[in-house]
Amino acid sequence: MSFGHDILLIIIGIVIGAIIGFFISRIVMKKYLKKNPPINEQMIKIMMSQMGRTPNQKQINQMMKAMNNAK
């Protein structure tokens, strides 16, 4: 009886740990994405404008493709 009880407690501990780990990682990921949002086309336009360039759609598409390939 003791051996079955021990295994049950281990399984319950693993399940509870997985649930807690999921929520902690979810909170950490939300904080990370809030601090470092993914780059989109609008951000590229703003960045190029700040550098003194007037970007056209082809240049924006090239930069988006280059960033996606770098991942």
Q: So what's the pLDDT on residue 10?
A: 96
Strand residues in 1-71 grouped as ranges (E): none
Q: So what's the pLDDT on residue 20?
A: 98
Is the Cα torsion angle 59, 64, 69, 70 positive or negative in sign? positive
Query: Are both 24 and 48 inside the same structural domain?
Result: no
Query: Are both 26 and 48 inside the same structural domain?
Result: no
Residue ranges making up the domain that contains 5: 1-37
Query: Are both 15 and 46 inside the same structural domain?
Result: no
Six token digits for residue 48: 């190029």
> Can you give the pLDDT of all 71 residues of the chain as single tens digits?
699 999 999 999 999 999 999 999 999 999 999 998 888 888 999 988 899 888 889 999 998 898 888 76
Query: Which residues have CB under 8 Å from 54's CB, separation 6+?
Result: 48
Contact 60/41 with Cβ under 8 angstroms?
Answer: yes
